[in-house]
Amino acid sequence: MKNRNVIIGVLVGMSGGILIGLGFTSQKGKTFRKQIIDKGDEYLSQILDKLTLISNGTSESLKELDKEVKAVK
């Protein structure tokens, strides 16, 4: 549940930042939209990398637990 709240908080924060940026930009719309897309791709990549690390860590922990359970039997 805590991870879910963090993810929701990050998404809300990113959305708010984008809206504020749109309101105060002095760049052309096309240039600014490209920057937003590039930054969004960067954030998405970082999030996916972290989720992969969490998934791999969980997978390794489950494998170790499985070995320990089999050793006890």
Write out pLDDT tens, residues 10-62.
888 888 887 787 777 777 778 878 888 898 899 889 988 888 888 877 877 88
Q: Average pLDDT for residues 3-8, to the nearest whole number?
A: 81
Find the DSSP H helices in the chain.
2-24, 29-72
Give the residue numbers spanning the domain of 18: 2-72
* pLDDT computed for residue 15 by the predictor: 85
Nearest CA to 7 out of 37, 34, 46 is that of 46
pLDDT of residue 55: 81
Band (pLDDT 50/70/90 cuts) for residue 1 is low
Distance CA 13, CA 19 (A): 10
Instruction: Using a cut of 0.85, tell me whether the model's pTM lies above it.
Output: no
Exposed, middle or buried: residue 36 (CB in 10 Å: 0-12, 13-18, 19+)?
A: middle
Number of structural domains (the chain) is 1
